[in-house]
Structure 1
Amino acid sequence: MFFLSLIEHKLHLPPAGLSLPLHEGMKKFLDGIFLDKVILNLGLCVSIYDIRNIYGGFIRAGEGAPTYTVKFRMVVFRPFT
């Protein structure tokens, strides 16, 4: 069965993602991290459904990328519930 799961993740957005609009850059890098991966006790991540909140954007000393906290919903496949 397919489920929507709400996930919160801290993402270091690389400089390559800053050339895109924020939501598109986030979705692109979140797809790379989560797509076709199995998360323990959650299931197989199929796709990013939508992005709920993006907050942060802090650049820490010594890092060249801003850190965002992203809340998003993901379509997850769980064969046995």
Structure 2
Amino acid sequence: MFTLALVADDVPIKPEDFRDDHRDQLKRQIQLRYVDKILPDVGLCIEFYNFVNIKDAIIYPGDGKISCGEAFVKVEFNLIVFQPFIDEWLVGAVVGSSPQGLQVSLGFFQDVEIPSANLRTPYMYDAKQERWVWLYQDEETRETMNYFYEKNELIRFRVTGVNFPDASWPKERQKRKPMSITGAVDRDGLGLVDWWP
């Protein structure tokens, strides 16, 4: 679920920060640039981890308006990144239901969708209550029990896809979320946590 991603970047340090420890300034700038942002085809950046390589700084003359003589330091560093693996099981909370499926939140990441085709079968959408239900049939008694996907309840799902918009289509990239996860609850042990003792 969480991995390290190696990133190389030119990180600026402002002249007024030259007297402070340059490592602290670099870390602060890296966190401002990357934490809580999504790197295409990498994942959601959670936290700075460590420096791998810090090279010499290059100071460019400033114009006093846009640039004020910052030092740009070539830095290689590791970030802790959230990008779940295919078939990994996660637990989130159901935040919504629609005829297309379920919307799930992991707390720190909101864009998880479970399409209706990935729900336990047989299933049905209750349009009045706006929620999905798994119509479980007991093999011994042939009795049907309704298990509802209740809003705000914890749900265990498996990851079937981690999606990033195609970078070669800028208009498509603007319309879509920068990262989304597709899930499924189609196996034993998956679905609302309360269903499985």
Aligned to 1:69: 74
Structure 1: gaps of 5 or more residues? none
- Kept in 1, the 8 Å contact 2:12–2:29? The answer is no
Structure 2 match to 1:17: 17
Pair 17,34 (structure 1): closer, same or farther in 2 beyond 3 Å: farther
Kindly state the Cα deviation for residue 80 of structure 1 after the two structures are TM-superposed: 4.2
Q: Distance in 1 between matches of 2:85 and 2:17?
A: 36
Equivalent pairs, count: 81
Q: String of CA shifts for 1:21-58, please: whole Å, max 9, x gaps.
A: 01111001110000100010000000010011111211
Equivalent position of 1:5 in the other structure: 5
Contact 1:17–1:26 (8 Å) recurs in 2:
no
Aligned to 1:26: 26
More deviation, 40-49/50-59: 50-59
Q: Which has the higher helix share?
A: 1
Tell me the TM-score normalized by structure 2.
Answer: 0.39
Aligned alpha-carbon RMSD (Å):
1.5
Aligned 8 A contact 1:4 1:75 in 2: yes
Q: Structure 1: which 4+ aligned runs deviate by more than 3 Å?
A: none
Question: TM-score, normalization: structure 1?
Answer: 0.88
Higher relative contact order (CA closer than 8 Å, sequence separation 6+) = 1
Query: Runs of 5+ in structure 2 lacking a partner?
Result: 87-197
Q: Among the aligned pairs, what percent are the same residue? A: 28
